[in-house]
């Protein structure tokens, strides 16, 4: 009977186990997680859980009884520190595990701020439940929070902190927030929306020092010479794939553990899924790394299929979402390299779709509070439809007509 060892208990790891059982795999399944909590949903961490609107137990994918019923061995607070490929053996501190198939689902870690006082007691990153619990304790005595980084995490936390009554300042090193992932129009919309809610956003803001006393930061100095008072700091400047264990056994890694479209690594019986991977996507005919729940879920199904000998492969259309205040931002496709952007709807109404084109054809969309139309575009992109930007820019174009044949 085959044994599958899954290293990592996040979205990708846990759902690989679920997919294996759903696909009829009757061998041993073991999940190794270095956290103390049952595998859980991570998107609420920067939103409702941060605001204490959701209890910890409500975050869990499944109950502890589910894992017992499905004969999935769940090992919490456990870290694999050595793998022997000759014997297919993995060692933790006080125990060891045999495997026939090994699945890396090691996720990613926050990119650390490389400067003095970055280890202060009131400087935080947000990746796990324990991070949020520490942040919540600091909020109780804080008035001014400085968020370093104007990406999705920074903006989601900003919206939560405003609702909690804090003064919020975002420091973004680039010339606009969300610069690497959205158009200038969408960036401006979110900049203006947050500003109206009371967030102060400073772009081209490069941090020169963190000023602390007794291991507590009290201000942030910028290269411009400006000093920003702070009771607490949260850093959101990206994430780095956790490949240390994969590197140690000689797997090919480059911006993540490299896999083919079947989630297989350079070693035949080892697979990798989720944020830790740089995976080949057959839809785009190229390899890239994504950090998203949908990507993790897609990988889990593909990995399960590969283990049981089926032919499912990774051709998922990348998509993502971000909730801020009453705004639901949904994105599909890869907008990098776009040469035009057309807005459908009125951007000031907070109901619009930004359509990104390249060489005359649609390659990606950003949707704000237009979920129904977003799903049509996502389906079209995922099915490989070649939608001309000239058609989309026609004043009579309706997204509902994409599949009706009327365009």
Residue 316 covered by a domain = no
pLDDT, residue 405, reads: 57
The number of beta carbons lying within 10 Å of the beta carbon of residue 31 is 24
Of 235, 262, 283, which one is at a domain's C-terminal end? 235
List CB contacts of 201: < 8 A, sequence separation 6 or more.
Answer: 150, 169, 170, 172, 177, 191, 194, 195
What token pair was written down for 322?
Answer: 């971000």
Q: Report, as ranges of residue numbers, the positions in the chain whose pLDDT lies below 70.
A: 405-407
Of 276, 308, 340, which one is at a domain's C-terminal end? 308
In this structure, the answer to whether residues 231 and 123 fall within a common structural domain is yes
In this structure, the answer to whether residues 189 and 105 fall within a common structural domain is no
Long-range contacts from 267-272, C-beta under 8 angstroms, 24+ separation: 267/85, 269/88, 269/100, 269/101, 269/102, 270/101, 270/102, 270/103, 270/104, 271/101, 271/102, 271/103, 271/104, 271/303, 271/306, 271/307, 272/103, 272/104, 272/105, 272/246
- State pTM to two decimals: 0.95
* pLDDT per position as a tens digit, 356-390: 999 999 999 999 999 999 999 999 999 999 999 99
Residues forming beta bridges with residue 341, ordered by sequence position:
356
H runs (alpha helix) in 164-268: 184-197, 244-248
In this structure, the answer to whether residues 191 and 214 fall within a common structural domain is yes
Crossing angle, helix 152-163 and helix 184-197, to 10 degrees?
20
Cα distances from 8 to residues 40, 102, 148, 196, 377, in angstroms, run 12, 11, 28, 40, 33
Residue 70 covered by a domain = yes
Residue 407 covered by a domain = no
Say if CB 337 and CB 347 are below 8 A apart. no
In this structure, the answer to whether residues 42 and 191 fall within a common structural domain is no
Say if CB 316 and CB 294 are below 8 A apart. yes
In this structure, the answer to whether residues 187 and 331 fall within a common structural domain is no
pLDDT, residue 318, reads: 95
In this structure, the answer to whether residues 244 and 390 fall within a common structural domain is no
In this structure, the answer to whether residues 98 and 144 fall within a common structural domain is no
Domain range enclosing 337? 326-401
In this structure, the answer to whether residues 33 and 121 fall within a common structural domain is no
Largest CA distance in the chain: 68
pLDDT, residue 311, reads: 87
């Amino acid at each position: 009977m085959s044994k599958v060892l899954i290293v990592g208990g996040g979205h990708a790891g846990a759902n690989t186990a679920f997919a294996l059982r759903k696909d009829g795999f009757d061998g041993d399944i073991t999940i190794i997680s270095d956290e103390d909590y049952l595998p859980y949903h991570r998107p609420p961490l920067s939103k409702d859980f941060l605001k204490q609107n959701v209890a910890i137990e409500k975050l869990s994918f499944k109950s502890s009884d589910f894992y017992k019923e499905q004969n999935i061995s769940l090992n919490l607070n456990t870290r694999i520190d050595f793998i022997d490929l000759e014997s297919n053996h993995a060692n933790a501190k006080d125990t060891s595990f045999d495997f026939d198939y090994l699945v890396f689902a090691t996720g990613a870690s926050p990119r650390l701020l490389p400067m003095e006082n970055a280890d202060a007691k009131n400087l935080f990153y947000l990746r796990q439940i324990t991070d949020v619990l520490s942040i919540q304790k600091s909020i109780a005595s804080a008035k001014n929070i400085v968020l370093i980084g104007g990406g999705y995490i920074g903006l989601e936390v900003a919206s939560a902190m405003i609702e909690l009554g804090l003064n919020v300042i975002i420091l973004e090193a680039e010339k606009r927030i969300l610069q690497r992932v959205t158009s200038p129009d969408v960036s401006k919309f979110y900049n203006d929306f947050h500003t109206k809610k009371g967030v102060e956003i400073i772009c081209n803001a490069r941090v020169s020092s963190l000023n602390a006393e007794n291991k507590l930061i009290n201000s942030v100095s910028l290269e411009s010479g400006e000093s920003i008072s702070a009771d607490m700091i949260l850093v959101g400047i990206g994430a780095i794939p956790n490949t240390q264990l994969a590197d140690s056994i000689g797997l090919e890694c480059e911006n993540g553990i490299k896999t083919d479209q079947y989630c297989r690594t350079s070693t035949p019986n080892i697979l990798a899924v989720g944020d830790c991977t740089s995976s080949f996507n057959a839809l785009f005919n190229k390899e890239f790394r994504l950090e998203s729940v949908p990507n993790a879920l897609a990988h889990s199904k593909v990995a399960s299929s590969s283990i049981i000998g089926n032919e499912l492969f990774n051709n998922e259309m990348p998509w993502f979402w971000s909730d801020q205040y009453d705004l639901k931002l949904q994105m599909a496709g890869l907008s990098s390299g776009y040469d035009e952007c057309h807005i459908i709807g009125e951007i000031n109404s907070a109901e619009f779709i930004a359509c990104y084109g390249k060489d005359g054809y649609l390659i990606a969309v950003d949707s704000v509070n237009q979920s129904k139309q977003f799903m049509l575009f996502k389906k079209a992109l995922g099915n490989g439809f070649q939608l001309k930007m000239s058609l989309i820019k026609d004043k009579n174009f309706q997204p509902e007509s994409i599949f009706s044949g009327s365009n």
